[in-house]
Amino acid sequence: MRKPIKVEEAIERVINRSMEGEWEYVQIEKCFGRILGKDIIATTDVPWFDRSPYDGYAIFAESTQSASSQQPVQLEVIGTIGAGSVYNDGILPNQAVKIMTGAAIPKGANAVVMKELTKEVKHNGKVYVEIKRNISPGENLSRIGEDVKKGSLLVEKGTMINPGIIAILATFGFNHIPVMKRPRVAILATGSELLEVYQPLEPGKIRNSNAYMLQAQILRAHAKPVGCGIVNDSFENVLAAVKNAMDVADIVVTTGGVSVGDYDYIPAVYESLRAELLFDKIAMRPGSVTSAAVVDNKLLFGLSGNPSACYVGFELFVRPYIRAMLGQKHRYLKKIRAELAADFLKPNPFTRFVRTKLSYQNGKLIVEPIGKDKSNIVSSLIDSNSLTVLPGGTRGYRAGTEVDVLLTEDEEGAPIWQC
Ligand code: AMP
Ligand code: MG
């Protein structure tokens, strides 16, 4: 008789066995979506020289002290600086240099007046800029270090690299980016009924959909899927296939054969490998037979063959483990509160993880259960972007109830996960 443990306990047991992986360098063009392997520290100030934030005129602000709309001041324009150029001669009071956005402020200037507030006039072959108001020293300067101070911690390791982070990496001239190595996750589908995706249907057979679903879930978790094919329900074959999977991957995920049926060989395979069993029964629906074991510090996850149960088992247990290996700060699926859109009236002693669609409607976050809520259902996964947690021990839940929702499409996750 298997003894069910709580979901939180099962997740803890898995995470406690995790070890942070190694990092490697990739070129900046390849780092999008990877997990940062080291903190990013600013190697310079940004900007690293005083710059003009606008097209306009660099001036000595005090020259405009008496300016008003009745009595504008006129400053002599002694040159022009485009972005990327430097004006080597300084300016004196009552002089101005025409300046473009991003160009370095010339010596002697302490403010920029926007072009829109000025007018150029000519007298005796000289160009002047007319200014109708008093400009304060420091006005419209983009100063050294105003964006980023040299030495400051900008992004912590374990963060997913997004386009903004890539902008920062490029700003500092980082060409090779330290990213966490993607853990290799073996996918092994067990079941004599399974056909390859390209095979025509035969009586009694079904296609191996779990392997492809898991492949995508592994990619979504920033890890590397390693397909290990299909193995039929024979103890020797499953044992050999699991050993092979252990050789080629950091984590082994099997689907099917984990229950108590005549042809369910995963428990016997764990035993034969002298695996340390972390759990083989969890107080949850779907996927109560989800198992995990450790052999030589390697995690073997035995997910149910039922598609929905397989999906949920991956998100709840494998994904946090991968996040821990990747050094991500938040290992658990992010949890939010939302309102249940429809009655869910199935009583159950175990906590349910209902595949749901979370959306924002009329100013409220709502979750709708999708399709049929059974572990063998595959269509309920199509629109699923979340798992709604419905604790057991009730007669069901009414529409309008506030419930906990775990986000499967959220990147960062949240530090607290309870259900
Ligand atoms: P099992 O966990 O082996 O008892 O399988 C439970 C149910 O899931 C059975 O109906 C299997 O046919 C089905 N199943 C098992 N493996 C897969 C798979 N890779 N893809 C789709 N369905 C599967
Ligand atoms: Mg089976």
What is the share, in percent, of the chain residues with pLDDT greater than 90?
93
Element housing 8 (H / E) = helix 7-16
| pLDDT tens, position by position, 27-82 | 999 999 999 999 999 999 999 999 999 999 999 999 999 999 999 999 999 999 99
Give the per-residue pLDDT at 417: 34
Which ligand has the nearest atom to the CA of 288?
A: 1
What is the share, in percent, of the chain residues with pLDDT greater than 70?
98
Which ligand has the nearest atom to the CA of 304?
A: 1
Give the per-residue pLDDT at 130: 98
State mean pLDDT over 119-143. Answer: 97
Contact 126, 59 (CB under 8 A): no
Taking alpha carbons only, the member of 304, 297, 233, 230 closest to residue 262 is 233
Give the per-residue pLDDT at 203: 98
Q: 208: Cβ below 6 Å to ligand 1?
A: yes
Which ligand has the nearest atom to the CA of 305?
A: 1
Q: 374: Cβ below 6 Å to ligand 1?
A: no
Give the per-residue pLDDT at 408: 95
Give the per-residue pLDDT at 188: 98
Indicate the top mutation candidate among 187, 190, 194, 374 to test ligand 1's pocket, ranked by most ligand atoms within 8 A of CB.
194
Atom of ligand 1 nearest to the CA of 258: 2
Q: 288: Cβ below 6 Å to ligand 1?
A: no
Q: 33: Cβ below 6 Å to ligand 1?
A: no
Which ligand has the nearest atom to the CA of 289?
A: 1
pLDDT averaged over the chain?
A: 95
Give the per-residue pLDDT at 275: 98
Q: The tokens of 288 are what?
A: 């109560």
Tally of residues, the chain: 419
Confidence band for 414, pLDDT divided at 50, 70 and 90: very low
239 C-alpha vs ligand 2 centroid, how far in Å? 14
Contact 184, 59 (CB under 8 A): no
Q: 210: Cβ below 6 Å to ligand 1?
A: yes
Give the per-residue pLDDT at 374: 85
| pLDDT tens, position by position, 217-271 | 999 999 999 999 999 999 999 999 999 999 999 999 999 999 999 999 999 999 9
Taking alpha carbons only, the member of 61, 126, 120 closest to residue 91 is 61
- Neighbour order of strands in the sheet with 73-81: 111-114, 56-59, 95-99, 73-81, 126-131, 118-123
Give the per-residue pLDDT at 410: 79
Give the per-residue pLDDT at 400: 97
| pLDDT tens, position by position, 342-370 | 999 988 899 999 999 999 999 999 999 99
Count CA atoms closer than 13 A to 406's CA, side-chain side.
23
Q: 307: Cβ below 6 Å to ligand 1?
A: yes
Angle in degrees, CA 419, 406, 156, rounded to 5: 110
Q: 310: Cβ below 6 Å to ligand 1?
A: no
Which ligand has the nearest atom to the CA of 230?
A: 1
Contact 99, 50 (CB under 8 A): no
Q: 193: Cβ below 6 Å to ligand 1?
A: yes
Give the per-residue pLDDT at 163: 93
State mean pLDDT over 126-144. Answer: 97
Distance CA 104, CA 91 (A): 13
Indicate the top mutation candidate among 255, 303, 380 to test ligand 1's pocket, ranked by most ligand atoms within 8 A of CB.
255
Confidence band for 415, pLDDT divided at 50, 70 and 90: very low
| pLDDT tens, position by position, 202-218 | 999 999 999 999 999 99
Report the b/e string of 284-314 with b at 16+ CB within 10 A. bbbbbbbbbbbbeebbbbbbbbbbbbbbbbb
214 C-alpha vs ligand 2 centroid, how far in Å? 17
Give the per-residue pLDDT at 412: 57
Q: 56: Cβ below 6 Å to ligand 1?
A: no
Q: Give the position of tokens 């995920």.
A: 253
| pLDDT tens, position by position, 302-322 | 999 999 999 999 999 999 999
Q: 291: Cβ below 6 Å to ligand 1?
A: no
| pLDDT tens, position by position, 1-40 | 899 999 999 999 999 999 999 999 999 999 999 999 999 9
Give the per-residue pLDDT at 1: 82
Indicate the top mutation candidate among 206, 234, 308 to test ligand 1's pocket, ranked by most ligand atoms within 8 A of CB.
206
Q: 95: Cβ below 6 Å to ligand 1?
A: no
Taking alpha carbons only, the member of 259, 193, 274, 195 closest to residue 229 is 195
